[in-house]
Amino acid sequence: MDTISHEPHPWDPKAGYPTIGARNITACVGNYHCICGNTNTFELARKIEPIIFPSHYHIKINISGCPNDCNKAHLCDFGIIGVARMTYHPERCIACGACVRVCQHGATRVLSANPAIGKAEKDPCCCVGCGECVRVCPTSAWTCQETKFYRVILGGRTGRQTPRTGKMFLNWATEDVILGVLKNWQKFSAWVMDNKPEYLHGGPLIDRAGYKKFKEIILDGVELNPECLVAEDMFWHETEYRSNFNVKPLSMHHTAGPKV
């Protein structure tokens, strides 16, 4: 106990984790095996691991290689989804309609056929980044950009009290942005709990601090890539197994930040 009750020692992967903090990172097989995978989830998980281990502060991270989200990025503190940004080459398009059909059937219906010009048109607002248009196009009129992009889903959780689905925090973020944000996680957690570690998930930490304060700390010093979009605000919808679960005596309320 004397060993683990002081500051964390240099982490030895073979000796386990000497703190109460982060759980193991989970990842789907990604593009290492799955035809839908946009990114190598294993490589990203290995880069994240030394950032969040060892830690006195708890966080659950799930990584999915594509928007199918087989690894449930929407149900953890910090979910990461590999997404693709596509480039359209109209000179290659033969107006077969394959991309339009696959988008209508399995994605967000952002593609449509324009008979007047014999080409596909895209509404860029709601592309989910699945890359199915690239896979079905017989002439490579759609191609994936070389840069790997990610979507971050924030604050999801299961549990016995107030389970909820996470909400989008970042879209079209690069790997460097993801790693930079996670480097601020311990700083954010320490601020919320006034440097007193507690086995508490990331979602409740954000609830205590408020999303705006979370965004301020977690993006501090992070250089966003030009394509990256950030949620201005965030509103979760919880399932309350007990009606009005959060209505309780003031003495039972939690607070965030340094205690004065």
What are residue 170's DSSP bridge partners? 152, 230
CA 218 to chain centre: 13
| Count of residues in the chain | 260
Q: What's the pTM value of the predicted model, to 2 decimals?
A: 0.87
Pairing relation of β-strands 142-144 and 167-173? unpaired
CATH superfamily of 20-83+147-244: Sulfite Reductase Hemoprotein, domain 1 (3.30.413.10)
Domain boundaries, the chain: 20-83+147-244, 86-144
pLDDT tens-digit series, residues 151-202: 999 999 988 888 999 999 999 999 999 999 999 999 999 999 898 877 788 8
CA 230/CA 181 separation, integer angstroms: 12
Give the model's pLDDT for residue 1. Answer: 44
Instruction: Give the C-alpha separation, 107 to 130, whole Å.
Output: 7
- CB-neighbour burial class of residue 234 (10 A; exposed 0-12, middle 13-18, buried 19+): middle
Return the higher-pLDDT residue of 96 and 241: 96
CB 19 within 8 A of CB 57: no
Class of domain 86-144: alpha beta
pLDDT tens readout for residues 222-252: 999 999 999 999 998 888 777 777 788 888 8
Backbone angles phi, psi at 97, to 5 degrees: 85, 5
CA–CA dist 21, 211 (Å, integer): 22
